[in-house]
Amino acid sequence: MRRSRALWTAAILGYVFLYLPLVVVVIYSFNNSVMNAQWVGFTLDWYRKLFANEEMLTAAGNSLLIGLLASFFSTVLGTMAGFAMYRYRLRVLPLLVVAPIAIPEILMGVSLLIFFVTINLTLGLISIVLAHIAFCIGFVALVVNARLAGMDESLVEAARDLGASPLQAFRLVTLPLIMPGVIAGALMAFTLSIDDFVITFFTAGTDTMTLPIKIYTMVKVTVTPEVNAVSTLLMLLTLVLIVIASKLSPGVLRGEAGGG
């Protein structure tokens, strides 16, 4: 593989840029101060406090669960939408898919709350997941659509010629080819979901606390390093989960045929 020195340096610098704040976040989770302002001293107290903080842990768990559910369903629906946009050139679908990305979150949050109250849906986990799916679909759809652009149709035609139904052709030929796009979309959807505050704030009921809600409302006072601790752990946990999942179904991430 060709790899020029300049390209490599630029990419490494990119990673440095991405990780600089993260390094600060992790380091400050050991900071012996109630605020995220300057370094005072080393302590494990915040991690200790975190493990005793049932509310924070439940919130983190909820966020993870919602993230997994929302990203799963929005990836499925978004892949379908991306494929449909590419293949069938429907007029209304691109609009419906891009508009949720453009609409200000606060408007979407308020409108969904009004909608859920009107149809008498109890606010809770389900309402949050439904809301998250709505704004994540667009991200997946656009990435899948971009991946499909310029795809070699002859492969699909060959499969059809060999007797595959449209569904089989999709599952066995198209899907593996677009898998990196699908995975990219899923990752984006998950990221959007676990960090969403505005829409979640409006569509959450009394019984479901998510991590962003807990943290953003802390902002009014101080954001203690306990938040750094829970963020660090959540990141690590998610990474571990994904590594485990990829070991259990090897190759699915690479889009090898037969995955899924």
Partner 1 sequence: MKSGRLSKWLISGPPLVYLLVLFAIPTLIMVVASFRFPGEFGGLAPLTFEDETGRHFDVTWENYARFFSDWLYTQLFVKSLAYAALTTVLCLVIAYPLGLLLARSPKGRRELLVLLVILPFWSNFLIRVYAWMIILGPNSVFVAALNAALGALSLGPVTLLYTPFAVVVGLVYVHLPFMVLPLYANLEKHDPTLLDAAQDLGANAWQRFWRVTFPLSLPGVFAGSALVFIPAFGIFAIPDILGGTGGIMIGNVIKQQFLDTRDWPFGSVLSMVLTVMAVGLAGLAAWFARRERL
Partner 2 sequence: MLRKLLGVLLLVSLPALAKEDVLHLYNWNQYIAPETVERFEKACGCKVKQSYYGDNEELLAKLSAGAKGYDVMVPTSNYVLGMAKAGWLQPLDKSKLPNLKNIMPAYMNTEFDPGNKYSVPYAYTITMIGYNEQKMKELGITVDSWAVIFDPKILEKIKGKVTVLDSPTELMAAALKYLGYSVNDRDPKHWEEAKKVILKAKPYWAAFKATGYIEALAAGNIWVAHGYSNDIFQANLGAQQAKQPFHIKHAMPKEGAVLALDAMVVHKNAPRPDLAFQFINFMLEGQNSADLTNMIGSGNPNSAAMAYIKPEIKAMSAIFPDEATAKKLEMLKDMNAQQRRLLNKIWTEIKAK
Binding site for partner 2 (CB under 8 A): 32-38, 40, 55, 65, 69, 110, 113-114, 117-118, 123-125, 201-202, 204-207, 209, 213-214, 216-222
Supply the minimum distance, in Å, between the C-beta of residue 176 and partner 1. 11
Supply the minimum distance, in Å, between the C-beta of residue 79 and partner 2. 16
47 vs 73, which CB is nearer to partner 2?
Answer: 73
Contact predicate 189/70, CB 8 Å: yes
Pair of tokens at residue 206: 């009394």
Which partner in partner 1, partner 2, none is near 172 (CB below 5 to 8 A by kind)? none
Task: Please give the Cα distance from 142 to 184 (Å, whole number).
Answer: 11
Contact predicate 75/189, CB 8 Å: yes
Pair of tokens at residue 111: 């409108």
Supply the minimum distance, in Å, between the C-beta of residue 182 and partner 1. 9
125 vs 183, which CB is nearer to partner 1?
Answer: 183
Which partner in partner 1, partner 2, none is near 69 (CB below 5 to 8 A by kind)? partner 2
Which partner in partner 1, partner 2, none is near 59 (CB below 5 to 8 A by kind)? none
Collapsing DSSP to helix, strand or coil, 149 comes out as coil
97 binds partner 1 (CB under 8 A): yes
Would you state the torsion angle of the CA atoms of residues 53, 57, 63, 69, taken in this order, to the nearest 10 degrees?
-150
166 binds partner 1 (CB under 8 A): yes
125 vs 253, which CB is nearer to partner 1?
Answer: 253
Supply the minimum distance, in Å, between the C-beta of residue 11 and partner 1. 4
Would you state the torsion angle of the CA atoms of residues 188, 191, 192, 197, taken in this order, to the nearest 10 degrees?
180
Task: Work out the number of other CB atoms within 10 angstroms of the CB of residue 227.
Answer: 22
Alpha-carbon distances of 35 from 107, 212, 215, 223, rounded to whole Å: 32, 18, 13, 6
Segment 43 to 72, residues that bind partner 1, using CB under 8 A? none
| Mutual angle of helices 175-194 and 54-88, in 10-degree steps | 140
245 binds partner 1 (CB under 8 A): no
Residue 39, phi then psi, degrees to nearest 5: -75, 130
Residue 157 pairs in a beta bridge with none
209 binds partner 1 (CB under 8 A): no
Which partner in partner 1, partner 2, none is near 65 (CB below 5 to 8 A by kind)? partner 2
Which partner in partner 1, partner 2, none is near 205 (CB below 5 to 8 A by kind)? partner 2
Supply the minimum distance, in Å, between the C-beta of residue 130 and partner 1. 6
69 vs 81, which CB is nearer to partner 1?
Answer: 81
199-208 burial: b if 16+ Cβ within 10 Å, else e: bbbbbbeeeb
* Amino acid in the structure at residue 172: L
Supply the minimum distance, in Å, between the C-beta of residue 81 and partner 1. 4
Supply the minimum distance, in Å, between the C-beta of residue 222 and partner 2. 6
